[in-house]
Amino acid sequence: MKPLIKVVELKKWFPLRRGIIDALLGRKQLYVKAVDGVSFEINSREVFGLAGESGCGKTTTGRCILRLIEPTSGKVFFEEKDITSMSYGELKPLRKNMQIIFQDPYESLNPRMNIYDIIAEPLRVQGLVEDPDEEEEMVYRALEEVELTPPEEFFYRFPHELSGGQRQRVAIARAFILKPKFIVADEPVSMLDVSIRSEILKIMLRERERYGTAILFITHDLSLARHMCERIAIMYLGKIVEMGETEKVIQEPLHPYTQALIAAVPVPDPTYRRGKIPIKGEVPNPINLPPGCRFHPRCIYAKEICRKEEPKLVNVGGRLVACHLYSSK
Amino acid sequence: MPLLEVKNLKTYYYTLRGPVKAVDGVNFEVDVGEVVGLAGESGCGKTTTALSIIRLLPPPGKIVDGEILFEGKNILKLDEEEIRHIRWKKIAMIFQGAMNALNPVMRVGDQIAEAILAHEPNTDKREAWERAEKLLQLVGIDPSRAKDYPHEFSGGMKQRAMIAMALACNPKLLIADEPATALDVIVQAQVLDVMRSLKEKLGLSMILITHDLSIIAEMCDKVAIMYAGKIVEYADVYSIFKNPKHPYTEGLIGAFPSIKGPKKPFISIPGSPPNLLNPPSGCRFHPRCKYAMDKCRREEPELINIGGKHYVACHLVR
Amino acid sequence: MLRGRVRRFKRRYSRSIGEFLRTFLRNKFGIVGSSILIVFVLTAIFAPYIAPYDPTDVNSIGVAPPFSPPSWVKIFDNSIPKDKVFGLLGTDELGRDIFSQIIYGTRVSLLIGFAAAFISIFIGTIIGLVSGYYGGVIDEALMRITDILLIIPGLPLMIVLAAVLGSSIMNLIFVIGITSWPSIARIIRSQVLTVKEMKFVEVARAVGAGDGYIIFRHILPNVSPLIYVNAAINIANAILIEAGLSFLGLGDPNYISWGTMLFFADQYQALIKLAWWYVFPPGLCILLVVLSFIFIGHALDEILNPRLRLRR
């Protein structure tokens, strides 16, 4: 089966501002290599997790796929079409198939627009509905689907009148109203109260069932990823270090970084004693990346080769791991 | 004798619209060497409780009723001058978002030394600096980093520096408000490890405030679950997790998916936390409770002991 | 379900407008400011019905002896003969009724003030929007121009321009408008820089919106509270500048504004002649109008500021 989304060697390097002195002295342009060669595929209707700590490049990857930021290099294919080389004009009709839900329920809604206009906007920009009554029906239904009822009550309210959870539901309604085939969900519940997270995620999954949408679920919370995602990719400093079926990756992590991450996650069970975390050192500076394997300064298994050569993703029993422990055999 | 006893604490914020009953009759104890967790979501009153204990309540907040006994003495009766002998020397606090509270133009070591000098003014400056270095070492930071500026520290290091600052005067009780939120999971684990080691090395007692039940499970001996300004369940940590009696506790535990063990259903609690200007009648949780009975709308349940120092405030439990 | 476009439109916007008016009228500064302003605006509109004489009419000259004090001075000093006092505010050097001049002057001063402010806000907003949104070379170029205009001393520049272009109402409006836009442009630009990074703008892009749509539908509405607040100050400023330029003799000689009244008062040495009724009224009117706009601006600032922060 052909994948819905195919990302090939995606890179996004942010140049650091150089002063005149640096330019005159001919110092090299420095970059923050937020995403440095990331490749993966997402299948139709799949919930694919992209996990890692802050600064690993997961959010930037998500935004690059939708071309909200322009990638520095690499390609993204949507249904076999290369969307990275398209013009914005060609891209526009495809956009109705790829939407995004952001983390911050406060910032993702225009405070000066009422809820009706916020949800109707995608329809209007894409020119899908001419008749205002038809538009009203679609907005009505969208609000019903995210359980903001009665919908008329919400039409003319403004974002500041709603709670965080309600705003996120509006964001979900807006994302799904175009019936997209793919959605990037960037930490969709991390800023919400714990007791309502499950509700919001349930609504998201229900919409996904209804429209057959694939979701790229970006998160730093591995416990959540375990419950939401079928497959997962773990990122560290701009690269994917491990990728595979979520349950397997979490229960039997292969990459030393994944092992450290899983060991560090606290468990809501007082009888569980967390062991020492198999990691050393501090988080490195993203501007001055270590040579060879990026993780080697913190890796307890680091060998000579790890300092010199960057490991490639190899297939280990159905899983992809980028580590010399597995690739130099 | 318990180190700290909070009895019937009531703290209200007198706003223009009326009194917000942020803390409305809270009781708990902290024994020497114990870690007590105050758990609950935003707006439940846990931070206000902490600020009441250390008497740093911002206006228009006022402690309206209750007693706080520290080593047997009611500290609510002390005036500002006397409280200063307790604050930081006996009871210290790490505030929420503390790592952003470091002054960016002062060296970290100087800031810790400043805390020492502020509370023990007769200390020699060099001695204060040496103590600052030792404190950094205590929290796992190389003492030579004391001369660095905050921007040279990572997020986890800043948080640990704040812990060091809180320990500047060897307090007996440390109140930590969300010490590990906003940190990445590996760094979070390191900070929690440091806190646990402090408890063992220094015999420190702690009140740990957080919404994250996983952290509570890992760190605490006793737990008080707070909702809308009241404690709804209070017991040792094993009873809370293995035998939760209050519907809110059940709901809260269920809202935390676990990375270990079988996949449990991931649940949520419908509705949202109440407005504390006008809290619901009777049991404050009843609008969101799936077991709510008629009695719950009318009468507020009392916190009762159901055996073995496990307290629950719910009409379902008799 | 609701049907009907008009009904939808009314429901959508009447709530916010109604809420705004209610808040505004509850604000002390808002009430005082707008009351004063309404008085002046009505005066300007109904000038021919209020003023006893038309100051541009040649026949209005010499209706009384020049420099006659107002009639009600007799209440304090009965010794003055009846034919030596006149009207509500006395007469000028040509024996024209000053009260009428004040009334008609309201038209000119307000017109120039509003029009000039409108031009400067219009130019400033467009430059601020474009500069802030597109950034890069466009931003640099526009900001350099803005800087240059900010550095050149305002009043001397305006004097030079007015002297070169000649004094007419249109020229005055043009001169004041052209020199006042830089500060607005800067303020708008910095707000645009903040707004364009907000996530709802990214979502609009994800949906396929183009730059023009985003600027007008998303950025402008979030920048407009700032415009309103600054507009009030801008209008007050324009009125003051007009008064100043006219006082210096650069005003339109065919029309009477408060500034030109002060010019003539000075020319004909009204103060030396102790003709306070010639000097105070125009000065007081300028003061009151400017004050009213400052109050309105303050009220708007108080009301709109929480929203300016764009977060709850």
CATH number of the domain that C217 lies in?
Answer: 1.10.3720.10
For A281-318, b/e burial (b = at least 16 CB within 10 A) is eebbebeebeebbbbbbbbeebeeebeeebbebeebee
Report yes or no on C44 lying in a domain: no
Residues B88 and B121 in one domain: no
**In what helix (H) or strand (E) does residue B92 lie, and over which residues does it extend?**
strand B91-94
Which pair of tokens denotes residue C208? 């396929």
Angular region, C15: left φ>0, alpha ψ -120 to 50, beta rest: alpha
The H or E element that residue A259 is part of is helix A256-264
Per-residue confidence (pLDDT) for residue B316, from 0 to 100: 86
pLDDT digits (tens, 9 = 90+) for A141-160: 999 999 998 998 899 899 98
Q: Are residues B206 and B288 in the same domain?
A: yes
Contact B41 A271 (CB under 8 A): no
pLDDT tens over chain C, length 312 residues: 445 555 666 666 666 777 778 888 888 888 899 899 999 999 888 888 887 777 777 667 777 777 778 777 777 777 777 777 777 788 878 778 888 888 888 988 899 889 999 999 999 999 999 999 998 899 999 999 999 988 988 888 888 888 888 878 888 888 888 888 998 999 999 999 999 999 999 999 999 999 999 999 999 999 988 888 888 888 998 999 889 888 888 888 888 888 888 888 888 888 787 888 888 888 999 999 999 999 998 888 888 776 555 443
Task: Tell me the residue length of chain C.
Answer: 312
Nearest to A100 among C2, C203, C312 (CB): C203
Task: Say if residues C279 and C18 touch (Cβ distance below 8 Å).
Answer: no
Residue B229's contacts (CB-CB under 8 Å, 6 or more residues apart) are B21, B22, B23, B24, B25, B26, B44, B45, B276, B279, B284
| Domain membership flag for residue C182 | yes
**Minimum CA–CA partner of B252 in chain A:** A195
Question: Does some domain include residue B22?
Answer: yes
Is the torsion defined by CA of A51, A53, A54, A60 positive or negative? negative
Q: Which residue segment(s) compose the domain that C181 sits in?
A: 103-308
Residues in C touching A93 (Cβ below 8 Å): 208
Q: Are residues B243 and B112 part of one domain?
A: no
Cβ contact A178:A96 at 8 Å: yes
- Determine if the pTM surpasses 0.80: yes
Find the angle CA(A50)-CA(A54)-CA(A57) to the nearest 5 degrees. Answer: 55
Look up residue A21 and give its two tokens.
Answer: 């002195």
Whether residues A274 and B189 touch (CB distance < 8 A) is answered with: yes
Domain parsing of chain A, residue ranges: 5-97+178-327
Contact C202/A136, CB-based, under 8 Å?
Answer: no
- Residues B181 and B120 both lie in one domain: no
Is the Cβ pair A202, B213 closer than 8 Å? no
Q: Is residue B161 part of a domain?
A: no
CB-based contacts of B42, cutoff 8 Å, min separation 6:
A193, B211, B273
Q: Which of residues 195-224 of A touch B (CB under 8 A)?
A: 195-202, 220, 222-224
Pick the CATH number of A5-97+178-327 from 3.40.190.10, 3.20.20.140, 3.90.950.20, 3.40.50.300: 3.40.50.300
Q: What is the pLDDT of residues B43-73, one digit of tens each?
A: 888 999 999 998 888 888 889 999 999 988 8
A284-302 pLDDT, tens digit each = 777 888 888 999 989 998 8
For position C75, what pLDDT does the model report?
Answer: 78
In this predicted structure, what is the pLDDT of residue C310?
47
What whole-number distance in Å separates Cα of residue A198 and Cα of residue A188? 11
Q: Is B262 on the interface with A (CB under 8 A)?
A: no
- Both B21 and B45 in one domain: the answer is yes
> Tokens for B278?
């006008």
| C-alpha pair distances (Å), B81 with each of B77, B78, C70 | 12, 8, 69
> How many cross-chain Cβ pairs, A to B, lie less than 8 Å apart?
118
Q: Which of A196, A266, A277 sits opposite B268 (nearest CB)?
A: A196
Rounded to a whole number of angstroms, the distance from the CA of A250 to the nearest CA of chain C is: 32
pLDDT at C28: 85
Kindly report the average pLDDT of chain A as a whole number: 90
In one-letter notation, the amino acid at residue C259 is G
Cβ-Cβ contacts under 8 Å, B259 against chain A:
222-223, 226, 250, 262, 265, 267
CA separation (Å) from B221 to B1, B33, C122, C182?
17, 10, 65, 63
Domain, as residue range, for B138: 103-152
Q: Letter for the amino acid at B304?
A: I
> Looking at chain A from residue 157 to 196, which residues have their Cβ under 8 Å from any Cβ of chain C?
158-160, 171, 174, 178
Q: How many CB atoms lie within 10 A of CB C236?
A: 22
Residue tagged 């330019």 (tokens)? A23
Interface contact flag, C203 A133, Cβ < 8 Å = no
pLDDT tens for each residue of B191-238: 898 898 888 888 899 999 999 999 999 999 999 999 999 999 999 999
pLDDT at C4: 55
User: Nearest-CA residue of chain A relative to B238?
Assistant: A270
CA B23 → CA A1, B73, B177, C140, C301, distances in Å?
58, 21, 16, 54, 35
> What CATH number is attached to the domain comprising B94?
3.40.50.300
In eight-state DSSP terms, residue A160 is: G
| pLDDT at residue C307, as a whole number | 57
B154 touching chain A per CB within 8 A: yes
Within chain A, strands assigned E span: 5-15, 31-42, 47-51, 73-78, 81-82, 98-101, 182-186, 214-219, 231-236, 239-245, 314-316, 319-321
The count of structural domains within chain B is: 2
Whether residues B126 and B247 fall in one domain: no
For residue B267, give the DSSP letter.
-
Query: What is the structure's pLDDT at A130?
Result: 86
Q: Is the dihedral of CA B295, B299, B303, B305 positive or negative?
A: negative
CB C213 within 8 A of CB A105: no
User: Closest chain A residue to C15 measured between Cα atoms?
Assistant: A156
3-state secondary structure of C91: strand
How many Å apart are CA A182 and CA A83, to the nearest integer? 14
The most confident of the ranges A225-234, A304-313, C14-23, C178-187 is A225-234
Q: What DSSP state is assigned to residue A296? A: G
Q: Are A32 and A14 in contact (CB under 8 A)?
A: yes
Q: How many domains does chain C have?
A: 1
Cis amide prior to A150 (ω within 30 degrees):
yes
Q: Which A residues, 211 through 240, put their C-beta within 8 Å of a C-beta on chain C? A: none
Cβ-based contacts of A174 with chain C (< 8 Å): 203
Q: What is the rounded CA–CA span in Å between residue A174 and residue A187?
A: 17
Structure-token pair, residue C230? 């600054």
> Does residue B177 sit in the same domain as residue B215?
yes
Task: Give the span between the Cα atoms of A74 and A85, in whole angstroms.
Answer: 10
pLDDT (mean) for A28-34? 84
Distance from CA of C254 to the nearest CA of A (A): 46
Task: State pLDDT tens for residues B96-108.
Answer: 887 788 899 999 9
Whether B180 and B273 map to the same domain: the answer is yes
The DSSP element (H or E) to which A251 belongs, if any, is helix A246-251
- Residue C203 and residue A102: Cβ atoms within 8 Å? yes
**How much is the pLDDT for C171?**
85
C216 in a structural domain: yes
Is B120 in the same domain as B86? no
pLDDT at C78: 76
Complex ipTM > 0.90: no
Could you give the dihedral angle defined by the CA atoms of residues C13, C18, C21 and C25, in that order, rounded to the nearest 10 degrees?
Answer: -170
Nearest to B74 by CA among C117, A229, B65: B65
Q: Could you tell me if residue B160 is inside a domain?
A: no
Helix C169-195 / helix C154-165 crossing angle, nearest 10 deg: 140
Check residue B201 and give its pLDDT: 87
